[in-house]
Chains A and B, each alone.
Chain A
């Protein structure tokens, strides 16, 4: 999936001259944590996060309200030259960038202009969608030898049962590195026939599987 298919196009932004107080109000109103900062031409010049604001403002346990601080332009606290992305970037790349750069948002820029934003939350939601758990289905885990063609052998069973597969994930088997674990989400309430046939093919179905339990 590429970013233009998942990014939020309705981006809240401020100008570098807006104040910390205005940034606080906007973050609270919209219940968001990241604000790209653009200049008059729509070019991204910085990012302000709720953490930048917390660092810049006095503790709310203090009585004295230092109004000067809240009137400071955000230009002074924003991260300048932030990491940006392009609408054609892959979602996997963004996950890597978030992980490696330890950041939580990516302003998406095309033609020099801000066109969208992707945050950690968006990425997490994509992950949930990928697992297929938003649609009614049963989960089946199969331990298979780690060799080419294996997915075909297992998925043939789903084909024979006319079963609609909602998602497939492949995990390493932490106990045996000669195996891997295939996790299927299938749109059926009765996976018994499928499980029986996968077992007949000689594979190990972990249903259900809890470490320390044998059934």
Chain B
């Protein structure tokens, strides 16, 4: 797949930003955010022969200067101190750390800065034409705010990366977030910026964290009209999810004309996910990257960076979903129905639940939803409201 990109550098098709150091972002053994997902996914891809050593590049650690692009100095300072056990919880709680969601752990500054660095590594590969696409599954920490942690996220890799792209490469960025939770941190970072477009499709805030992401959140000042939100109802299934995603993503690309697409690929909209109430199946995780890939080629000469995100059924959902993402990025067609036997055998022993042996979910995964037609209708209304401003009337 490689082609010459000048000098003696061979341009790669896609890079997989990963090292075992990324597993250091670990709150506790019982915390739902569990980076073992990365080990499981990487192993699945290797056993599929879909990932070789040549594809893998290690993440760098983001410098303080880079973190400052999207975070306050005082906050970084507190994270560093907490990282070394130099502060107590009463001093850190107002910064969102030392809480049940985002507890303090040893070396949390380095671990968090490494996840940001991974996304910056992905940016450099793509923006310097060393690779067409790049994937950092360790990234996607979309709840991180400028001055505080929130929802399992310390630093916000996407916010830092987008600022970095603006400063270093002066490109227009479209950020699309399919995590089941609203991508609030990234949205607020660029709420008044007309050169960054943020799009988030998520379960409504009626029950689910963080509660924001209403369709009326469209940006402010110069940035009015460049934030898009598609809050979908609890119990939303594949077809309705995909109807909104595909329609909105394409129309927003046509409107915004990005230079690069960054997709956040949280895998928590699945029926199995313990934290959310959406009823997606593996079908959405096959379709989501397919369209991102296609639109990146149509609008951005292929420039596409994908990051991870949420995903709390780390055994049955995340490894399959994220493997499909990497395979789509590399045009690897899925020919077999079953997961590799060696992968199943290796991990079934550790898994507290029976693994799903097939790439797609079995039929009749859940009982039919009684109010499906109304939920679909309501979601469609959300789509129309969200796109109202960019459609001609």
A interface residues (Cβ-Cβ under 8 A, vs B): 132-141, 161-164, 185, 187-193, 207-208, 210, 212-213
Q: Of A164, A192, A213, which one neighbours B370 at CB under 8 angstroms? A: A213
Q: Is B274's CB within 8 Å of the partner chain A?
A: yes
| Chain B positions within 8 Å of A137 at CB level | 209-211
**Main SS of the interface on chain A?**
loop
Q: How many residues of B are in contact with the other chain, CB < 8 A?
A: 26
Shortest B121–chain A CB gap in Å is 27
Given contacts A140-B207, A164-B99, A189-B101, 18 further A-B contacts (CB under 8 A): A133-B205, A133-B211, A133-B212, A134-B212, A136-B151, A136-B184, A136-B212, A139-B211, A161-B100, A162-B100, A185-B211, A187-B101, A188-B100, A189-B209, A189-B210, A192-B32, A208-B234, A210-B235
Map CB proximity to A onto B184-211 as digits: 1 under 8 Å, 0 otherwise. Answer: 1000000000000000000001111111
CA distance A139 to B371 in the complex (A): 22
| Chain B positions within 8 Å of A141 at CB level | 207
Shortest B179–chain A CB gap in Å is 11
Q: Is B277's CB within 8 Å of the partner chain A?
A: yes
Shortest B1–chain A CB gap in Å is 39
- CB <8 Å contact, A210 and B371: yes
- CB <8 Å contact, B143 and A139: no
| Chain A positions within 8 Å of B234 at CB level | 208, 210
| Chain A positions within 8 Å of B206 at CB level | 139, 208
Most B-side CB within 10 Å, residue of A133, A162, A189: A189
**Residues B224-277 near A (CB distance < 8 A):** 234-235, 274-275, 277
**Residues B1-58 near A (CB distance < 8 A):** 32
Shortest B242–chain A CB gap in Å is 22
CA distance A135 to B181 in the complex (A): 14
Q: Is B281's CB within 8 Å of the partner chain A?
A: no
- CB <8 Å contact, A208 and B277: yes
- CB <8 Å contact, A190 and B211: no
Q: Is B369's CB within 8 Å of the partner chain A?
A: yes
- CB <8 Å contact, A136 and B235: no
Q: Is B152's CB within 8 Å of the partner chain A?
A: yes
Nearest B residue to A141 via CB reads: B207
CA distance A3 to B150 in the complex (A): 33
- CB <8 Å contact, A213 and B211: no
| Chain B positions within 8 Å of A164 at CB level | 99
Nearest A residue to B369 via CB reads: A213
CA distance A140 to B208 in the complex (A): 9
| Chain B positions within 8 Å of A192 at CB level | 32, 274-275
CA distance A141 to B234 in the complex (A): 15
| Chain A positions within 8 Å of B370 at CB level | 212-213
- CB <8 Å contact, A139 and B207: yes
- CB <8 Å contact, B207 and A189: no
- CB <8 Å contact, A188 and B274: no
Contact A213 B235, CB 8 Å, known A189-B181, A189-B209, A189-B210: yes
- CB <8 Å contact, A212 and B371: yes
CA distance A185 to B211 in the complex (A): 9
The 13 listed contacts between A and B (C-beta, < 8 Å) are: A133-B205, A135-B210, A136-B143, A136-B150, A136-B212, A141-B207, A189-B150, A189-B275, A190-B32, A191-B209, A207-B207, A208-B206, A212-B371
CA distance A191 to B184 in the complex (A): 19
CA distance A212 to B235 in the complex (A): 12
Shortest B182–chain A CB gap in Å is 9
| Chain A positions within 8 Å of B32 at CB level | 190, 192
- CB <8 Å contact, B151 and A163: no
Nearest A residue to B214 via CB reads: A133
- CB <8 Å contact, A136 and B211: yes
Contact A213 B151, CB 8 Å, known A133-B205, A138-B209, A162-B100: no
Shortest B281–chain A CB gap in Å is 17
- CB <8 Å contact, B371 and A189: no
Contact A189 B205, CB 8 Å, known A162-B100, A210-B235: no
Map CB proximity to A onto B276-307 as digits: 1 under 8 Å, 0 otherwise. Answer: 01000000000000000000000000000000
| Chain A positions within 8 Å of B152 at CB level | 189-190
| Chain A positions within 8 Å of B100 at CB level | 161-163, 188, 190, 193
| Chain A positions within 8 Å of B205 at CB level | 133, 139
| Chain A positions within 8 Å of B101 at CB level | 187-190
CA distance A190 to B276 in the complex (A): 10
| Chain A positions within 8 Å of B99 at CB level | 162, 164, 187-188
| Chain B positions within 8 Å of A207 at CB level | 207
- CB <8 Å contact, A189 and B274: no
Nearest B residue to A192 via CB reads: B274
CA distance A187 to B98 in the complex (A): 13
| Chain B positions within 8 Å of A134 at CB level | 212
